[in-house]
């Protein structure tokens, strides 16, 4: 009998004084021994995302069976904060979208009250952190301070699980152009970056009902695109990068897509819903203010 993959042939019975039963027992013993010898994982132990294949002999010695068990993939831990306060609708929509992502752990530490427009301000002295629940019932921590305080509290020892990413928002109102410097959403993201944790700030265009759903969808898309680098720690440096994602709330039509552009130094001309059905500009916008006004979600690398 040929043992597949071993290069060894075992003969049963024949003219060498061996009975059929003894030959069969020898075959079973050799097959079992070879099966144990050839138990080989499909990858190195350091790869959590691959599968392990196990080969074992059948009980009657007639051959072998193979089973494959998928190993657990690496879990991405995300810290979420904002500047509208832990009870705001935007952060609730964001957290639910992130929790729906596979192999993702979400931790929330946000200001206890609305702290819009406070930029990167921090509290001089200790802050108080209190367990609470969000609009949808998810567990969170309310920090008695500014947005940057809520991130600093978490990363400086408030939470035990070190995140690979901080996401702030979803802010009610766009943070583009010269508004970036006064944004508490951005201030919280930059507090993470100074501590070596990459961050994504997310904002939805100002409107009676901001389009949080589209902003959350595009945030998840960004995380999916960068997941491997986040898990490998390629973006974890001091200071870490900060991406600023701003998604229009369209009065008509739908968001054109994501446009990667630098941040402008001027403020937006107006803070109203965008007509995303209007004719597309003849040339692509070259900064976040003009891109946002033309119906694109803008993505800018803004650093610290």
What's the pLDDT tens digit per position in 196-233? Answer: 999 999 999 999 999 999 999 999 999 999 999 999 99
Q: Which domains does the chain have, with CATH numbers?
A: 20-70 (no CATH), 76-301 (3.40.1210.10)
Q: How confident is the model at residue 248 (pLDDT cuts 50, 70, 90)?
A: very high
Q: What is the mean pLDDT of residues 109-131?
A: 97
Residues of the chain by 3-state class (helix, strand, coil), percent to 5 = 30, 25, 50
Per-residue pLDDT at 4 exceeds 60:
no
127 against 61, higher pLDDT: 127
pLDDT exceeds cutoff 70 at 151:
yes
Q: What is the pLDDT of residue 73?
A: 62
Query: Of 291, 297, 121, nearest to 211 (Cα)?
Result: 297
pTM: 0.77
Which of the pair, 68 or 9, is modelled with greater confidence?
A: 68
Using the predicted structure, report yes or no on whether residue 15 has a pLDDT greater than 50.
no
Cβ-based neighbours of 135, under 8 Å, separated by 6 or more: 87, 88, 89, 92
Phi and psi, residue 85, nearest 5°: 100, 150
Strand ordering across the sheet containing 129-133: 129-133, 139-143, 104-111, 76-81, 165-172, 199-204, 242-247, 297-301, 258-260
Please give the residue that has the higher pLDDT: either 268 or 19. Answer: 268
The pLDDT confidence band at residue 56, using thresholds 50, 70 and 90, is: very low
- Given a cut of 90, is residue 244 above it in pLDDT? yes
Cα-trace Rg, the chain: 28
CA pair distance 288, 58, nearest whole angstrom: 65
- pLDDT-derived band at 34 (thresholds 50, 70, 90) equals very low
Q: Is 59 helix (H, G, I), strand (E, B) or coil?
A: coil
Check whether 158 has a pLDDT greater than 60: yes
Predicted confidence at residue 65, as pLDDT, reads: 47
**Mean pLDDT to the nearest integer, 164-192:** 98
- Peptide bond preceding 156 in cis form (omega within 30 of 0): no
pLDDT of residue 54: 45
Phi-psi label, residue 253: left if phi above 0, alpha if psi -120 to 50, beta otherwise:
left
pLDDT of residue 37: 38
pLDDT of residue 32: 42
């Amino acid at each position: 009998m040929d043992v597949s993959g071993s290069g060894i042939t075992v003969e049963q019975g024949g003219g060498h004084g061996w009975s059929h039963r003894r030959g069969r027992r020898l075959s079973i013993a050799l097959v079992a021994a070879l099966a144990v010898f050839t138990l080989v994982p499909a990858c190195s132990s350091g790869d959590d995302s691959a599968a392990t294949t196990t080969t074992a002999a059948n009980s009657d010695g007639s051959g072998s069976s193979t089973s494959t068990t998928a190993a657990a993939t690496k879990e991405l831990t995300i810290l979420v904060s904002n500047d509208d306060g832990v009870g705001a609708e935007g952060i609730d929509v964001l957290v639910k979208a992130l929790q729906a992502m596979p192999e993702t752990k979400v931790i929330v530490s946000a200001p206890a009250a609305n702290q819009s427009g406070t930029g990167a301000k921090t509290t001089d002295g200790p802050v108080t952190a209190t367990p609470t629940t969000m609009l949808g019932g998810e567990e969170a921590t309310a920090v008695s301070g500014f947005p940057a305080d809520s991130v600093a509290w978490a990363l400086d020892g408030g939470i035990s699980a070190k995140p690979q990413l901080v996401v702030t928002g979803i802010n009610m109102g766009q943070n583009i152009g010269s508004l970036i410097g006064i944004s508490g959403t951005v201030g919280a993201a930059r507090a993470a970056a100074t501590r070596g944790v990459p961050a994504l700030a997310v904002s939805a265009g100002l409107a009676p009902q901001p389009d949080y759903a589209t902003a959350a969808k595009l945030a998840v898309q960004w995380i999916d695109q960068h997941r491997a680098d986040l898990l490998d720690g390629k973006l974890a440096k001091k200071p870490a990068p900060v991406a600023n994602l701003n998604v229009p709330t369209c009065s008509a039509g739908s968001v054109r897509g994501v446009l990667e552009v630098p941040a402008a130094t001027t403020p937006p001309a107006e803070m109203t819903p965008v007509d995303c059905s209007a004719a597309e500009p003849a040339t692509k916008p070259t900064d976040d203010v003009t891109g946002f006004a033309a119906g694109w979600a803008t993505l800018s690398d803004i650093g610290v």
